[in-house]
Structure 1
Amino acid sequence: MPVRRRGPSQSEDPRRCTTTPEPAPGPARRRFLGDAPVEPAAVRGPILASWRRSSDYRVDSEALNAPYVDDLDFQGALVHAASPVLDHLHDELPDQPVSVVLTDHRGYVLERRTGRPELRDHLDRVCLAPGFGYAERFVGTNGIGTTLESGQATFVYEQEHFTGPLIDLACAGVPIHDPITGELAGVLDVTCFAQDAGPMLKAVAVGAARGIQERLLNHGSANDITLMQEYLHASHRSRDPIIALNADVLMLNRKAQQVLGAQDQVRLLEHLRDSPRQRPMSGELDLPSGTRCRVYARQVPGREAGTVARIHLLAPAADLMISSAPTGPLPGIAGSEPLWRHCCRAVEGHRARNAWICLEGEPGTGKSSLLRAVCRANRPDRHVRVIAADEVGADRDWWERTRSELLERQGPLVLRAVHRLSTPKLTELSCLLDEVKAANPALWVAATIDPGVVPGPALHGLRALFPQSVQVPPLRHRIDDLEAIANHLLRQLTKRPESAFSPEALHLLKRRHWPGNITELREVVREVTGRTRSATITAADLPPQCTSQSRRVLTPIESMERDAIVTSLDEAGGNRARAARSLGISRATIYRKITDYDIGDRTSSGPSRRRRS
């Protein structure tokens, strides 16, 4: 089958067979590794982009460091569907110097079929064998990893590989997608020695991948297929938002994606998963955005129950469009993602009505900064008084001074982290605010509190004075705002309006989970400004904890789902079976999502301990 040639086809169309040689990439690779500029004509664009990613990942260009994992799903649906296709290719090419490789969606090798012993031995030496990972972040430019990064079929020839041990090979990788969900399931890669590479190598890979996808559809879960059919039927019959889900599949029509924010979607999913399965799950529901809807849901028959729901929004469409309008910029803070805009609008509305509010959110999300920004935008001439929990005094003089101040105060008051106050201080503060609220109606007070605090009687009494609450989203739920926030913090610290992070640096930052939220990001920016005085911050300027991340960027829905799994694992002491039962999903599903979301071992975390105040 192979037809010898000097380089890969310049066409990305696998049906185009040409033996026209391309410029040899060897000199371009040497220039790139030597930090010399590379002319665009010297190497194909996708390869140059992959070299840059490999450099950002700090891949060793001289030694291959493929990790090994022994708990892969070697008996899963992908392997089951692919095995006959791989066997057929192997039988068709018994004496050819070609190897057919199947990987999972992260680039770990699941199966390999190899024709000649010399090629098999060579692939063993470069760890292109079951259990080893071939993502770009591990081994640089190659047919598997570069296909995963680009999402497209990729041909990599000889010295187009980033790391030296692979330059004797040529490989063609093609992504395999789940035909029902559309999600990436794995990669089909065809590899041979570079001297044996033919123009049809990529065509073979494309054909094999198509065959695997067809078998995935034929062997797909009958429950998933039935759910998809019911979802399509409901979408064709109604213009309302439609949601369909079971333990493994979630589908939303375009209307649902357009009019339902991320938090509204999560609330609806919780409602549908928590509702009884024995009867229609219809009823009215209040969503976090303030919209009220009526849910018409029914169970889809099958061994594992699924649900299809039509969401009828009770608010007029015009009102929904107004509520989606972006809020004006607030002084001193950055962000325009819908979750953040909704939060800002809610705080501004309560401030305009002088309604006391409580802001809830994880530490470091910018709760106090948001309150100060809203107050400055409303009345820039009024000073914002901020009292942190550790500033609340225990002596009678402090309470008398504070009482006198608040009875006369016209500007707003922000109480930070009230959940940290002791029971006596909470009781004293509640009595003081109750008096001030009646005597000084012009005073506006806002409090901040962290999530996960079970309120005792004292905190519950204080919360009663704040009838309104607003949720501040964590940074990982508004990851599209990271560029604006990071550049805003950078310009604050450098005092240079032209300072900015490069696209490569931002890509790495967006991969982080950011448990410390904006406070953690601020510390990273502070560390970066101590490393370089350049106006443009590159990936090389980032601290190691930012460049070592390998997880893909999650959507807000995926990030919220990840949080729910982490919480359930913590509450179950790391027991995945118990966590799966508490979430109402199968063990196979939680195992897959733990891998997909890069959730580490939670056994040592134990059940979460929530403070009582």
Structure 2
Amino acid sequence: MPHTPHGQATTPRQLFFQTAEQRTALARQRFFDEGTRPSGLVGEAVIQSWLRCASARQRPGDMVSFEQVTRSRAHASLNRNRQLLQAGNLELTHMEAALAGTDCRVLLTDAQGVVIHATQLPPTSQQPLLKTASRVGVNIAESHIGTNAPGIVVRTGEACTVTGAEHFFQCLQSIHCAAAPIRDIHGQLAGVLDVSIEAGQFHFDAASVVGMYATTIENRLLQLQSVEHLVLHFQASPTLLGTPMEALAGVDASGRVLWLNGAARRLTGCRMEGRHMVDEVFGTTLDRLLALPRQSQVQTQHLPNGLGVWMKGSLTTRDGADFKHGVAVSRSAPPAPVEPLSVATDAPEAQAAPIAAAMDAVGDAVSQATLLDHKQRLIETTLAACGGNIAKAARALGVSRGMLYRRLQKARVPESP
């Protein structure tokens, strides 16, 4: 046993700790009692959060109150985040069903940390803290309840897990939470998805689960926000299209790439710093990409970095019309060649020759068209192929007659000099 110079025995300092709980306890001792930085014992995101809380003169022994924001602010947050809630509607249901056999609760917050969706707990729930927190309008930002996973994501924009004693306030140390960000088409934080459990631990990889659902919600949100944009769907394997691993990109009428989701940035190597056109990101021209919604088959494309991807496109208007339905009837002949894109599967058999002719006419003109021209040409040529019959043309395009009337009237109104 080591001795002091005066011969007094000292307790050996334990250098290694077997459990995360032991490491966190030592981290709290060093940070709160000794005033030293507990690097390596807890994550850097937690340390930074502790520093922010301490700077705000919060004290670990204080009690926390899960207070709701004012009714007007809660109402404003719900209105402001309607698209986020719409994007998450199905996935939140699926996530809660997947977690139904656990004691976990799902929270969705806005970009400021105000809860806009929460799993409803039964009256007999033995989770008093989560029962109080799981209410629409409760502010769980770091400034209100100290260190917690969704609060850290709001501050940093990065996924985070906070377990037990990693919470700044001692009264919250029975909670474990994992959260992930959801971003919009501008790359800004739109919301935070969180899964939490009280008086227990995660018995699965909560960070992976919440990350997968957050990615799916983000992909849906990006597409909802991309009216009047050409949306490209691509991946290195066609089996990944339509999954959370799908790469997505939004292109405007001038051929500028407006946004890329995380998978798309990784595949293209483009970090969206500055203005990027489709030719530099995808190695092809806008007119060739505009042909994708007219194709009934997934296409292949080589990116400028040499990677080959499988790609398809969709085009939705502000009034909700999805023009891929209009072009789906063009099946009497294979699509017009669009180099360097190549057909990946066999074309279906003929179904509607008159509309097919109209689509071919659009295909011939696409090289001259912008994104908006493309949609208007599609309407006009389909209407011509249907002999001017509005009802027939609307059915072919998969839209209502009223919507078609409105678009035709808008196109016929001369612009002011």
Q: What's the TM-score once normalised by structure 1's chain length?
A: 0.34
Q: Which has the higher helix share?
A: 1
Q: What's the TM-score once normalised by structure 2's chain length?
A: 0.48
